[in-house]
Structure 1
Amino acid sequence: MRHQYKNLLKRYSFYLGGDQPHVPWIERIRSVIGAFIGLMLVLTAAKFLGELSGLDEWLTASLGASALLVFALPQSPMAQPWAVIAGNTLSALVGISVIHLTNEPLLAMPLAASLSILGMFVLRCLHPPAAAVALIVVLGHVVHYRYAFFPVMVDSVLLVLAGAVYSNLTGKPYPNRPN
């Protein structure tokens, strides 16, 4: 009987994160500190640039998800500079374009997200948080293409730069160099 419970637990632990690889605590701490420092630098710089330019929008909410990839999974293809910068910028451009084509949010949201995914496939810049950028643009009814460049592109560039400096200082090569 006990053996059956053990087998059931092992079999279904997959659904509760049992498939996640073990990450040593030192790597967890490195990732958390990196994300904190990186996001603080990016947000401070973006806020300063926003104040200089007189723009209220200086932050994109999906930056936290991008930071997870850049700082915790720097070896992932989806965390590489082209994926982060081009994926986020493209998705913002797609979301803004969709808003100009339709005023119906129930159509605009899935259309923006799915078309941004298609664009990321075409440009080879898959970055999961970027699909959220398209949704954020539609939900926020952002209609100015400027938003794609500031804050989205600028924040993405700053995050990648912070990630590169931090990762290389802590012994994790970033970005990946093709073999």
Structure 2
Amino acid sequence: MMRHSLKYLLKKYAFYFGGDQPHVSWLERFRSVFGVFAGLLLVLTISRYLGDLSGVNEWLMASLGASALLVFVLPQSPMAQPWAVIAGNTLSALVGISVIHFVDDPLLAMSFAASLSILGMFILRCLHPPAAAIALIVVLGNVMHYRYAIFPIMIDSVILVLVAAAYSNLTGKSYPNRPS
């Protein structure tokens, strides 16, 4: 009886410990992880070069790793599509920068920035979860210049999407999704 109960409980609660995650082959895991590594290395190298060339110190965004996970590991997700990545990230940076100009309290500014960026992503149909982090990063870093939304945010997002499209298609994955 106890044995049956333990087996039942393990099965019932496995969901809370990753039991809802689909099985992913080791080949696909390595394909995805290598894509994230190569993609980020390429994007960051290009971005750093562009930053050096233009004299801009801010050439990377911390949430790029989360965007890379979506475009390389879950390329079929609606939240990994080019419009979601590029527009979501850029919009969230613009919202965060705008909020800083109007809200002095950091706690309120962060809350406004994240929630308003999500509202904007809903309206523009470009939901991209890492973008909400960009709104927070902008407020935490007290980024006041709208240029930041163009470089590094938009430029890095475009490069990431282009690299992901090339890599995915070279390795047998379709990205971006094509409407049927």
Deviation (angstroms), 1:58: 0.1
Say whether residues 1:81 and 2:75 are aligned partners. Answer: no
Query: What is the match of residue 132 of structure 1?
Result: 133
Amino acid at match of 1:161: L
Amino acid at match of 1:151: P
Amino acid at match of 1:159: L
Determine helix, strand or coil for the equivalent of 1:51. helix
Query: What is the match of residue 107 of structure 2?
Result: 106
Task: Give TM-score, length-normalised by structure 2.
Answer: 0.99
Runs of 4+ in 1 over 2 A off after TM superposition: none
Deviation (angstroms), 1:97: 0.4
- The count of residues paired between Structure 1 and Structure 2 equals 179
Say whether residues 1:47 and 2:43 are aligned partners. Answer: no
How far, CA to CA, are the matches of 1:73 and 1:52 in structure 2? Answer: 33
Determine helix, strand or coil for the equivalent of 1:149. helix
Amino acid at match of 1:48: Y
How far, CA to CA, are the matches of 1:108 and 1:46 in structure 2? Answer: 28
Query: What is the match of residue 29 of structure 2?
Result: 28
Flag structure 1 segments of 5+ consecutive residues without an equivalent.
none
Amino acid at match of 1:38: G
Determine helix, strand or coil for the equivalent of 2:163. helix
Deviation (angstroms), 1:151: 0.2
Amino acid at match of 1:85: I
How far, CA to CA, are the matches of 2:94 and 2:47 in structure 1? Answer: 19
Query: What is the match of residue 2 of structure 1?
Result: 3
Amino acid at match of 1:162: V
Summarize deviations over 1:67-99 as a string: whole Å, max 9, x none. Answer: 000000000000000000000000000000000
How far, CA to CA, are the matches of 1:60 and 1:176 in structure 2? Answer: 25
Deviation (angstroms), 1:103: 1.1
Determine helix, strand or coil for the equivalent of 1:87. helix
Query: What is the match of residue 163 of structure 1?
Result: 164
Amino acid at match of 1:6: K
Deviation (angstroms), 1:40: 0.4
Amino acid at match of 2:165: A
Query: What is the match of residue 19 of structure 2?
Result: 18
Where in structure 2 are the equivalents of 1:57-76 lying within 5 Å?
57-76=58-77
Summarize deviations over 1:26-76 as a string: whole Å, max 9, x none. Answer: 100000000000000000000000000000000000000000000000000
Amino acid at match of 2:94: L
Amino acid at match of 2:48: K
RMSD: 0.4
Query: What is the match of residue 115 of structure 1?
Result: 116
Query: What is the match of residue 96 of structure 2?
Result: 95
